Amino acid sequence: MNLRAPVNPRTLLTWLGLLFGAGGLVLQFVLSMQLASENGRDFPGFLGHFFAFYTILTNIVLVLIYLSDVLPTPRLSLFQRPLVRGLMAANIALVGLYVYFVLRHLHVLEGLYELADTILHYLCPTLYLLWWLVTQKHGQLRWNQLPLMLLPTLVYFLYILARGVWVQQYPYPVLDVVNLGYGQVSLNALFMGSALALLCAGVITADKLIARGVPRHV
């Protein structure tokens, strides 16, 4: 009796992540553009605002990671690196946890807005973490790489502060310098950075433990 799965689990998870990630981003883009148009925002201003969200940027990176599996071209080689794939596991986990414990209490979403929110904040993080856990060749992350895993988020934080000086607008309440001041925003960033560091440490630990217990990946 042939008990092999009809579809390779790696292939299935890759395509699910790619399709839901790309679909969620397109849906959120269309909805956000419609809302921006209704509020009189010009298109360049809308683009700057849309791509200021950590959720959007991290989900774009996830799509590129999946694409690097589907289309193993040298142009996507950055997204094939274990370090990049590992740090994104921690980053996308932070996205889901932050939205669940903090942001979901601030707004009530309905219809397509709720669908897009669920896809990008819950479904995509879950799919990626599952994909990373069961399909990757583990044992390649090192503890001395932890600072590098935090670097992209630090760059994002500095960019948001610099952009805020120019447009006086911030994508998240915890980063709103206008209402909170730089001192409180810095404390908020330190707290979020510490949470991300713990998640990165968890990813490195998981990577090492899986490598010891599972000698080969899917």
Give me the pLDDT at residue 39, please: 87
Give residue 4's pLDDT: 58
The model's pLDDT over 41-86, given as tens digits with 9 standing for 90+, comes to 889 989 999 999 999 999 999 999 999 999 988 999 999 999 999 9
What pLDDT is recorded for position 178? 93
Q: For residues 197 and 87, what is the distance between their CA atoms, to the nearest angstrom?
A: 10
What are the two backbone dihedrals, phi and then psi, of residue 6, each rounded to the nearest 5 degrees?
A: -65, -25
- Residue 214: pLDDT band with limits 50, 70, 90: low
- The pLDDT-based confidence of 216 (bands split at 50, 70, 90) is very low
Task: Using the predicted structure, report yes or no on whether residue 217 has a pLDDT greater than 60.
Answer: no
Q: What is the pLDDT of residue 5?
A: 54
Torsion-angle region of 2 (φ positive above 0: left; ψ -120 to 50: alpha; else: beta): beta
CA distances from 52 to 28, 33, 196 (A): 13, 14, 19
What's the Cα-to-Cα distance from 47 to each of 15, 30, 36, 41, 130, rounded to whole Å?
A: 27, 11, 10, 10, 31
pLDDT tens string 79-105? 999 999 999 999 999 999 999 998 887
- The rounded Cα 68 to chain-centroid distance in angstroms is 16
Checking if the pLDDT of 7 tops 80, the result is no
Instruction: Give the per-residue pLDDT at 9.
Output: 82
Q: Which two tokens stand for residue 137?
A: 């060749």
